[in-house]
């Protein structure tokens, strides 16, 4: 069985600057992997390349043994840019995503799961940053992707919202999804992970899960 992710010498350059260089690693299907490193290290670029939202300048990515771009239907990316339609309600945002992506998930159930049922009919422009993050998670739940790429999933969330992310990580793991989590909350996420990647100056290397010893 091929790995869920196989990256081979992947690089990405922006205006002459390498944001990502020579990244080679594999992630087994059903594994949860922590991605950590300083600001500007290349973590977001890495996740966007894996999601095929960015084309690599060099190297290649295969997902489940196939070119990454052919596997987009199996990928869920939660990024800094939430992509919501501000002049639609939360529920209508999910309905649009459901129609465009031909998703079979239950919109109402997804909103209930992330704690937005009472605000489902309100325009997204009235949502706080934390509520927008919750709506992004609801969209992810609708898609139920095999590969989940989370970029700073705890950002903008209050204590209750951060607890929700912990629960969702456990649920994704339980259903066998492959998950990569880029976060500065290393101590919180590390116990939930099977492995780790550290990103520094655009270079990606394997690491032990922090706290597991050498």
User: Residue 155 gets which letter from DSSP?
Assistant: T
Written out in words, the top-level CATH class of the domain with range 5-83+146-207 is: alpha beta
Q: Is 70 exceeded by the pLDDT of residue 53? A: yes
pLDDT digit string, tens, across residues 104-145: 889 999 999 999 999 999 999 999 999 999 999 999 999 999
pLDDT band at 209 (very low <50, low <70, confident <90, very high): confident
Q: How far apart are CA 51 and CA 54, in angstroms?
A: 7
Judged against a pLDDT cut of 80, whether residue 214 lies above it is answered with no
DSSP, collapsed to helix, strand or coil, labels residue 100 as: helix
Please enumerate in sequence order all residues whose Cβ is within 8 A of that of 17, keeping only pairs 6 or more positions apart, or say none.
none
What is the signed CA dihedral for 124, 130, 133, 138, rounded to 10 degrees?
-80
Matching residue, tokens 């390349």: 49
What's the rounded mean pLDDT across residues 164-185?
A: 97
Local structure of residue 123 (DSSP, 8 states): B
């Amino acid at each position: 069985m091929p790995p869920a992710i196989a990256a081979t010498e992947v690089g990405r350059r922006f205006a002459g600057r390498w944001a990502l260089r020579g990244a080679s690693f594999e992630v087994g299907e059903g594994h949860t992997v922590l991605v950590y490193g300083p600001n500007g290290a290349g973590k977001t670029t890495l996740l966007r390349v894996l999601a095929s939202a960015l084309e690599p300048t060099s190297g290649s990515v295969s997902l489940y043994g196939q070119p990454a771009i052919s596997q987009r239907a199996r990928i869920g990316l939660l990024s800094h840019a939430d992509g919501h339609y501000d002049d639609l309600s939360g529920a209508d945002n999910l309905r649009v995503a459901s129609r465009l992506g031909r998703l079979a998930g239950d919109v109402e159930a997804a909103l209930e799961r992330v704690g937005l049922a009472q605000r489902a009919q309100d325009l997204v422009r009235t949502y706080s940053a934390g509520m927008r993050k919750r709506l992004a998670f609801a969209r992810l739940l609708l898609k139920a992707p095999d590969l989940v790429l989370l970029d700073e999933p705890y950002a903008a969330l209050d204590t209750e919202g951060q607890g929700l992310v912990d629960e969702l990580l456990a649920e994704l793991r339980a259903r066998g999804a492959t998950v990569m989590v880029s976060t500065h909350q290393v101590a919180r996420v590390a116990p939930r992970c099977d492995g780790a990647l550290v990103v520094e100056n655009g270079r990606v290397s394997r690491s032990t899960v922090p706290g597991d010893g050498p």
